[in-house]
Amino acid sequence: MIGPSQILDIGRRSLFAHQYALSVTSHNVANVNTPGYSRQRVIFETAFPLRIPQGFMGTGVDIGRIERIREHLIDLQVRDQISQAEEWEKGDNILKQIESLINEPSDFGLSHAITDFFNAWQDVANDPEESGPRSALVQKANMLSNTFHRQKTHLQNLVEELNTEVDGITAQINSCSTQIAKLNERIVALESAGHPANDLRDERDSLVNLIAEFADVQTSENTDGSLTVYLNYKVIVDRITTIELTTKYDARHGMKSKDIFYQNELLIPASGQIKGIFTIRDSEIPDYLHDLDFLASNIIKEINSLHRSGYSLDGSSYRDFFKGNSSGNISVRDEIANNVSLVAASSSGSPGDGALALQIAELADKLTMTAGSHNFTFSDFYGSLVSNIGSTSEFSNEMMESEKLLLTQLENYQQSISGVSLDEEMVNMMNYQHAFEAAARVIQTADELFGTIINMV
C-alpha cells in the first residue's frame, strides 16, 4: 500500500537531487573565467522502483553522476596544435632576436663597416704619402674587426641563453610530470571511492597542455582513471611513477649545445618550443656563423694577399695587414696598428704611388666570394646572408600566424563544448529552482496528509 511516507520520500529525493544540481550549476558559474575548467552537469537517474501488488511504482530521482563535459578528439587536436603553434612562435622569437643582433640596415652594421673599410683604402690611394688617411684606414679596419667580433659574440651568447632555456624547460617538464603523478594518485583514490574528481582531471589536463607547449605529448587513460603520459612516445608518467629528463652539453659547430636525454637516450621532440629552439640553435645559427667566418676569412685572405705584394712608406714589403682567420679573431696586425706608415699602399715602392691601395679598394667590386655556383662581392655575399635570414624569419612568422589562427579556431570549438555558458547555466538554475520548489510542495502536501490521517485517528 502506498502511503504518505512514500510520497514524502519521493519529495525528499527530489529536493536533495535538485539542491545538488543547483550546487553544480553554481560551481560552473563561479568558474566561468577559470582557465582549463570544464563545465559539469548532473545526470539524473530514476530511483530503484518499489514492487507493489499492482506491479512496480517509481520512487523518485537519484543523482547518477556528475559528468565532466569533454570531447576527447577535439582535446587531442588542440593539444597537438598547441605544440605546432609554440614551435613556430619560439622559432620566430629567436629569429627576431637574430635580426636585432645583425642590426641591418644601419650605420653600425657589418655592411656599413665593409663599405667604410674599402672607401678608406680609396682615400689612402688618393693621398698615399699622408698619415691621416692611413690612420683613418686602421680605424675603419678596427671597426670592421670589432663588428665581426660583436656579431659572433652576440650569436654565441644567444646560443648559451638558449641552452639555459633548455635547462629551464626540462625542469618544467619534470615538475609537471611529478604533479601529474600526484594527481593520478588522488584521482584514483577519489573515484575508486565513488567520488567525482572532475576538477582534479581539469588540473591534470592543464598540466599535460603545458607540457605540450614544450614538446609533442601523447596520453592514454588507464582503467583506474590514472593517466600515462608520453613525450615523443616515451613514457614520462606511468600512473604514480615518473621518469625525469636530463640535460647534457655536447660540443658541435664550434659551440657547446645543451641536449635533452631520456634515460641516456637523446630526445629530439617533433614539435613544441624545444623543437623551435633546436632548429634555430643547431641549424640556422651555425649556418650563419659559418657564413660569417667564411666572409671574414676571405676578406683576410684577399687583403693580405695584395698587401704582401706592396710597399710601405719605409720601403718594407711582404707584410700581412690582418691577423686571424675567422670572424672571431680578425684584427689589424699589431705593428700596423701601432705604426700606420707600415700600411702598404705602393705597388712599386716609389714615392706617391698609391696603386696597391687602389687595387685593394677595387676588391670591393670584385666577385671574390664563391658560394655554391654563384660568385659574389663581399657586400653582396653579406647582403645575401642577411636576406636569407630575413626570408627565414618572414616564413617563420607566416607559419606562426597560421598555426596560431588554427589553434584559436580549435580552442573556440573546444570552448563551445566544454566551456561555461552563463545563459545556459541561468536556464538550468531556474529549472532546478522550480523543481526544488515543486519538491518542497510535495513534501508539504505529504505533511498535510499525515496531519489529516492523525486527526482522523
Task: For residue 129, give every residue at least 6 positions away whose Cβ sits within 8 Å of its Cβ, in sequence order, or none.
Answer: 313, 351, 352
pLDDT of residue 55: 65
Q: In this predicted model, what pLDDT tens digit does every residue of 207-220 receive, in sequence order?
A: 999 999 999 999 99
Nearest one of 227, 222, 248, 229 to 174, comparing CA atoms: 229
Return the sign of the alpha-carbon dihedral for residues 380, 382, 387, 392: positive
Q: In this predicted model, what pLDDT tens digit does every residue of 129-166 receive, in sequence order?
A: 999 999 999 999 999 999 999 999 999 999 999 999 99
pLDDT of residue 447: 66
Three-state SS for 323-353 is ECCCCCCCEECHHHHHCHHHCCCECCCCCCC
Task: For residue 334, give every residue at least 6 positions away whose Cβ sits within 8 Å of its Cβ, in sequence order, or none.
Answer: 323
Average pLDDT over residues 308-330: 94
Average pLDDT, the chain: 92
3-state secondary structure of 51: strand
Task: For residue 292, give every residue at least 6 positions away whose Cβ sits within 8 Å of its Cβ, in sequence order, or none.
Answer: 148, 151, 152, 155, 327, 385
pLDDT of residue 254: 80
By the 8 A CB rule, do 273 and 90 touch? yes
Average pLDDT over residues 171-176: 97
pLDDT of residue 302: 96
DSSP string computed for 346-403: BSS--TT--HHHHHHHHGGGS--EEETTEEE-HHHHHHHHHHHHHHHHHHHHHHHHHH
pLDDT higher than threshold 60 for residue 283: yes
Count Cβ neighbours within 10 Å for each residue of 139-155 and write b for 16 or more, e otherwise.
bbbebbbebbbbbbebb
pLDDT of residue 107: 85
- What proportion of the chain, given as a percentage, has pLDDT over 70? 96
Q: How far apart (Å, rounded) are the C-alpha atoms in residues 300 and 414? A: 60
pLDDT of residue 177: 97
pLDDT of residue 60: 82
pLDDT of residue 123: 96
- Cell for 382? 653579406
Task: For residue 266, give every residue at least 6 positions away whose Cβ sits within 8 Å of its Cβ, in sequence order, or none.
Answer: 259, 260
Task: Give the residue carrying C-alpha cell 720601403.
Answer: 315
Q: How many residues does the chain have?
A: 457
Average pLDDT over residues 300-327: 95
Q: How confident is the model at residue 48 (pLDDT cuts 50, 70, 90)?
A: confident
Q: How far apart (Å, rounded) are the C-alpha atoms in residues 239 and 259? A: 27
Average pLDDT over residues 100-126: 93
A 10 A CB-CB count for 217 gives 26
pLDDT of residue 4: 64
Average pLDDT over residues 24-47: 93
**Of the ranges 171-175, 316-320, 450-454, which one carries the lowest mean pLDDT score?**
450-454
The β-bridge partners of 221 are 227
- What proportion of the chain, given as a percentage, has pLDDT over 90? 80
At residue 404, what are phi and psi to the nearest 5 degrees?
-70, -35
Q: Is pLDDT larger for residue 424 or for residue 53?
A: 424
pLDDT of residue 379: 94
